[in-house]
Amino acid sequence: MIDVQCYKRLGQFCLDVEFQACGVLGLLGPSGSGKSKTLQCIAGIERPDRGRIAVGKRVFFDGETGVNLAVQERRVGYLFQHYALFPNMTAAENIACGVRRHVGRSERRPIVAAMMERLGLTGLEHHKPSQLSGGQQQRVALARILVNEPDILLLDEPFSALDDALKEQVMAELTGVLRQFDKDVVVVTHSYEEAYRLCRTIAVLHDGRIDIIGERDAVFAQPQSKTAASLMGCRNIAPARKTGRRTVFVPSWNCEFTAACDVKDELCAVGIRERSFSPAVPVNSHAVSITEETKLSFGTLVAFRCDGQRPDAPPLVWLAEGGRADTLGVRPEDILLLYR
Which tens digit of pLDDT belongs to each residue from 155-194? 998 887 677 777 888 788 888 888 888 899 999 998 988 9
For residue 322, the model assigns a pLDDT of: 73
Quick one: average pLDDT of 84-95? 93
Quick one: average pLDDT of 53-65? 96
Give domain limits for the chain: 2-221, 234-338
User: Beta-carbon neighbour count of residue 318 at 10 Å?
Assistant: 27
Task: For residue 218, report the phi and psi dihedrals to the nearest 5 degrees.
Answer: -65, -40
Look at residues 289, 285, 312 and name the one whose alpha carbon lies nearest to residue 302: 289
Report the DSSP pairing between strands 184-189 and 152-156.
Answer: parallel
Q: Which residue has the higher pLDDT, 204 or 323?
A: 204
What contacts 218, CB < 8 A, 6 or more positions away? Answer: none
For residue 60, the model assigns a pLDDT of: 98
| 101: pLDDT strictly greater than 70 | no
Q: Is 246 helix (H, G, I), strand (E, B) or coil?
A: coil
Describe the chain by its helix, strand, coil percentages, rounded to 5.
25, 35, 40
Query: What's the whole-model pTM score?
Result: 0.87
CA distances from 74 to 148, 158, 285 (A): 12, 21, 56
Q: What whole-number distance in Å separates Cα of residue 22 and Cα of residue 3?
A: 9
Q: State the burial class of residue 35 (Cβ atoms within 10 Å of its Cβ: 0-12, 13-18, 19+).
A: buried
Q: Which of 133-137, 276-280, 281-285 has the lowest mean pLDDT?
A: 133-137
For residue 307, the model assigns a pLDDT of: 95
- Which residues face 305 on adjacent strands? 289
| 51: pLDDT strictly greater than 90 | yes
Q: Which residue has the higher pLDDT, 102 or 27?
A: 27
Quick one: average pLDDT of 192-206? 92
Share the mean pLDDT of the chain. 92
CATH code: domain 2-221 is 3.40.50.300
Look at residues 48, 53, 55, 43 and name the one whose alpha carbon lies nearest to residue 5: 53
For residue 247, the model assigns a pLDDT of: 98
